[in-house]
Structure 1
Amino acid sequence: MNLHALRLFYVVAEAGSVTKAAAQLRISQPAVTSQIKKFEKDLGLPLFAPSGRGISLTPFGAELVQQAANLFTYEEQIETFVADYRLGRSGKLRIAATYLPANFLVPGWAARFKAGHPGVEMVITTTNSRQAFERLKRHEADVAIYGGGPEDKPQELDWIELFEDELWFVVAPSHPFAGRTVSLREMMKEPFIMREEGSSTRERLFSLCRTYGLNPPQVALQFSGLNEAIRSVMAGYGANFISSLVVHEHVTRGELARVQVEGIHLTNSFAICTRSGEHQSQLVRQFIELCRQA
C-alpha cells in the first residue's frame, strides 16, 4: 500500500475538505484530488461519495480512516521511542560490577541515575572481575564497573579510571598490633579472616607474600561476603586486608584499628570499562558521566 497516499487520504478525511487538506499539506487542490483518485484506483474501492460541496466517506472509507489513525498513532509512538532512546530518556542499561563497587558504589550511583531517568530500565549483575569483563565482551553488559588491582586491566577494553583507594591491614582495637607499625613478616603470623579463594584482595595478599619470600598467612575464617569478614574482625579475632573504602568509617568510629606495615602500600583502582572502538549510546555516556562526577 502507498503510505504517502494513505496519509493524504487521512488528512483529507480529518479536515473534511479537499481545500482545507491542500492548505494544510501546502500542495495544490488539483494535486490532492488527483492523488486521491489514483489511490482509489489502486485500492479498487471508492473512498468518498458525492455529497454536494463537501465530502462524504463511503463505509469502506470510514473504516480505513480508523485503521489509518491507529497506524499513524503507532508511528508517532515509534518516533517518540526512537527520540527518547537517542537522547537517553529510555532504554535498558546493563551493568556488570565486581563485588567491591557493587556493594559500596553502584547502589548510590544507580539510584541517582534512575531518579533522573525514570524511563530507563537498569539491570545490575554482581560478579567477579573475570566474569564482568566476559559479560562486557559478549555484549551481555553495556558497562563493567571494576574495583581491584590495576594489573587486571584488559587490553581489549577501554578503561576509564575513576579513583583509587588504599588497601589496609585492620584488626580489632584490642589487638596488640592496633595503631602500631609492624613488619610484613610479623603481620603474616596473624590469623586472617578473608573472602573465598578467587577474591582479588586475597590473591593480592598472597602475591605480596610471594614477592617478599614469605609464607602466606593462615586463613582462619573464610566468608563469601565482605561484611561478614569485617564483623568477625571487629569481634576481636584475627586480621583482615581490605579496601579502605569498606572499613574507613569503622576505623573512624574506633570499631576497627589500622595496622601500618613497613614498606607496604597497595591500592585498588576503580574504573568503568567499555568495549574498545564502539559507539556508545547516549544512555551509556550519561551514566559514565554521572559516575565520573560522583
Structure 2
Amino acid sequence: MNLHALRLFHTIAATGNVTRAAEQLNISQPAITVQIKKLEKELRLQLLQPMGRGITLTAAGKDIASMAARLFAVEQQIEQFCEQYEQGTTGQITLAATYLPSHFLLPGWLSRFKRQYEDVELTIHTTNSADALHMLTHVQVDLAIYGGVPERVNEWIDMEELFRDELWFVVAPDHPFADRHISLAEMMQQSFVMREQGSSTRERLLSLCRTYNLPAPRITLQFNGLHEAIEAVIAGYGANFVSSVIVRERVKRGELCRVYVDDVQLYNTIAVCTRSQEPLSAAARHFIELVREHPF
C-alpha cells in the first residue's frame, strides 16, 4: 500500500477539504487528486465522492479514514517512543549486582533514578561476583555492579571504580579477639563463616593467605547470602572477613567487634562493569552517571 497516498487521504479526511489539505501539506491540489485516484485504484474502493461544490467520504472511505487515523496515531507514538528512548527517559536496563551493592547501595541508587526516570524499567539479578561477570560477558545483562577486586578481568570488560571501603575482620563481642590487635597467623587459626565459592571477599581472604604463605582459613560454615553469614557471627560463632560498608553500623551498635590484624589493610572496590567497545543505551548511561554523582 502506498502510505504516502494514504497519508494524503488521511489529511483530506481530517480537514474535510482537498484545498485545505493541499495548503496544509504544501502540495498542489491536482497532485493530491492524482494520488487519491491511484490509492482508490490500488484499494479497489471509492474513497471520496462529490457533494455540491466539495467532496465527502464514501462509507468505505469513512472506515478507511478511521483505520488510517489509528495507524498514524501509532506512528506518532513510535516516533515519540524513539525520541524518549534516545533521550533515556524510557527503555529497559537489566543489571547484575553482587550481594554487597545489591543489598546496601542499589536501593538508594534505584530510588533516586526512578524518581527522575520513572518510565525506565529495571531488572536486577543479585548474584556472586563470578556469576555477575559471566552474565555480563554472555550479554545476559547490560551492566554489572561489582563489589570486590577480581583476580582476572575479561579483556572484553571495562571496569570503572566508584569508590573503595575497608575490609574488616569481625567477631561477636564476647569473642577472645574482640577489639584486639593480633597477627594474621593467629587470625587464620579461627573458624570462619563465609559466603559461597565465587564470592570476591572469600577469594580475597584466600589470596591474603597465599600472599603471606599461610594455610587457608577453616571455613566451617558457609552461606549463600551476606545476611545469614553476619547473623551467624553475631550469634557467637566464628569470624567473618567482610566489607566495612556492610557491618559498620552493627559495629557501632556493639553487635559486632573488629579484630585489628597487624600490618594488614585491605580495601574493597565497588565498580561498575560494562562490555568494552559496546555502546550503552541512553537510560543505562543516565544510571551510571547518577551512580558516579552519588556513589554512596
TM range (shorter): over 0.9
Percent of pairs with identical residues: 57
**Contact 2:130 / 2:199 at 8 angstroms: preserved in 1?**
no
**Contact 1:167 / 1:265 at 8 angstroms: preserved in 2?**
yes
CA separation in 1, counterparts of 2:27 and 2:46? 23
**Contact 1:150 / 1:269 at 8 angstroms: preserved in 2?**
no
Q: Secondary structure at the match of 1:271?
A: strand
Alignment match, 1:85? 85
Matches within 5 A, 1:269-284: 269-284=269-284
Alignment match, 1:264? 264
Q: CA deviation at 1:164?
A: 0.9
**Contact 1:88 / 1:282 at 8 angstroms: preserved in 2?**
yes
CA separation in 2, counterparts of 1:192 and 1:119? 44
CA separation in 2, counterparts of 1:167 and 1:243? 4
Q: Secondary structure at the match of 1:197?
A: coil
Letter of the aligned partner of 1:270 in structure 2?
I
CA separation in 2, counterparts of 1:104 and 1:146? 12
Alignment match, 1:20? 20
Alignment match, 1:241? 241
Alignment match, 1:134? 134
CA separation in 2, counterparts of 1:233 and 1:33? 84
RMSD: 1.7
CA separation in 1, counterparts of 2:35 and 2:220? 85
Q: CA deviation at 1:150?
A: 4.7
CA separation in 2, counterparts of 1:58 and 1:244? 76
**Contact 1:146 / 1:272 at 8 angstroms: preserved in 2?**
yes
Matches within 5 A, 1:136-175: 136-175=136-175
CA separation in 2, counterparts of 1:168 and 1:19? 80
Q: CA deviation at 1:111?
A: 2.3
**Contact 2:129 / 2:198 at 8 angstroms: preserved in 1?**
no
Alignment match, 1:101? 101
Farther-moved stretch of structure 1 (232-241 vs 281-290): 232-241
Alignment match, 1:47? 47
Letter of the aligned partner of 1:79 in structure 2?
E
Q: CA deviation at 1:36?
A: 2.4
CA separation in 2, counterparts of 1:289 and 1:273? 13
Q: CA deviation at 1:88?
A: 1.3
**Contact 2:223 / 2:229 at 8 angstroms: preserved in 1?**
yes
**Contact 2:97 / 2:132 at 8 angstroms: preserved in 1?**
yes
**Contact 1:150 / 1:268 at 8 angstroms: preserved in 2?**
no
Alignment match, 2:35? 35
The unaligned stretches of length 5 or more in structure 2 are none
2:181 matches 1:211: no
Report Cα offsets for 1:81-107 as digits up to 9, x if no partner. Answer: 212211112211100111221221122
The unaligned stretches of length 5 or more in structure 1 are none
CA separation in 2, counterparts of 1:170 and 1:177? 9
Report Cα offsets for 1:167-201 as digits up to 9, x if no partner. Answer: 10112222232222111111112222222233222
Q: Secondary structure at the match of 2:151?
A: helix
Alignment match, 1:179? 179
Runs of 4+ in 1 over 4 A off after TM superposition: none
Structure 1 residues 247, 15: CA separation in 2 closer, same or farther (over 3 Å shift)? same
Report Cα offsets for 1:247-266 as digits up to 9, x if no partner. Answer: 11111222211111111111
2:13 matches 1:10: no
Q: CA deviation at 1:235?
A: 2.5
Alignment: residue pair count:
294
Structure 1 residues 220, 45: CA separation in 2 closer, same or farther (over 3 Å shift)? closer
**Contact 2:147 / 2:200 at 8 angstroms: preserved in 1?**
no
CA separation in 1, counterparts of 2:4 and 2:15? 17
Letter of the aligned partner of 2:277 in structure 1?
G
Report Cα offsets for 1:113-149 as digits up to 9, x if no partner. Answer: 2222221221111122222122112221000111112
CA separation in 2, counterparts of 1:156 and 1:104? 27
